Amino acid sequence: MPGTRPWPRASQASLKVALSDGTIAHMAIKIILKEVEFGVGDRIRVHQKIKEGDKNRESIFEGMVLKIKGRNPGKTFTVRRIGEAGIGIEKIFPIELPSIEKIVVVKKGTEGIKRAKLYYTRTKSPTEVDLIFRRASTRANEASKPKKVLRKKR
């Protein structure tokens, strides 16, 4: 049939991956690095030590985590921020990079985010991204609340 997909549509259940040894693992939505847990959608600040000749300096890159990709030891995470004149800047950091001194979580993402890769935020303005996260957090809060049962009067 034209227009139909041969595979099922991605959903929350598709975040589980069957490994070769028979166990089930979740896709990388959260990661622990330098005793700090962060995930996709979090706003983080990465402190990186850079050596230029005889001098050492510290570079700080703050932005939103777009994706976490790969397996150890080649696991990476991508951080995106908006630079001068509204131009997006993305950096890919390997997990095993020795120059990363510390990572600070500035703002946690929400549990209502259903995607492992947030590529769609590239085309959105920062205010639109905040609106998406606000909607997702209300969706997560509503899901955690018990629903009221209405009973008919006799």
- What's the rounded mean pLDDT across residues 130-149? 73
Residue whose pair of structure tokens reads 């030891």 in the numeric block: 73
Q: What pLDDT score does 14 carry? A: 33
Domain boundaries, the chain: 29-144
Q: What pLDDT score does 108 carry? A: 80
DSSP 113: -
Residue 78 pLDDT greater than 80, yes or no: yes
Q: What pLDDT score does 3 carry? A: 55
Q: What pLDDT score does 10 carry? A: 33
Q: What pLDDT score does 13 carry? A: 29
Residue 32 pLDDT greater than 90, yes or no: no
Residue 28 pLDDT greater than 70, yes or no: no
- What's the rounded mean pLDDT across residues 93-118? 83
Residue 137 pLDDT greater than 80, yes or no: no
Give the torsion sign (CA, 47, 114, 116, 81): negative
Inter-residue contact 100 to 46 (CB < 8 Å): yes
d(CA 103, CA 35): 9
Close Cβ partners of 85 (under 8 Å, ≥ 6 residues apart):
none
CATH number of 29-144: 2.30.30.790
Residue 105 pLDDT greater than 70, yes or no: yes
Name the pLDDT band for 11 (thresholds 50, 70, 90): very low
d(CA 66, CA 89): 12
- What's the rounded mean pLDDT across residues 29-36? 82
- Count other C-beta atoms under 10 Å from residue 88's C-beta: 13
Q: The tokens of 84 are what?
A: 């001068």
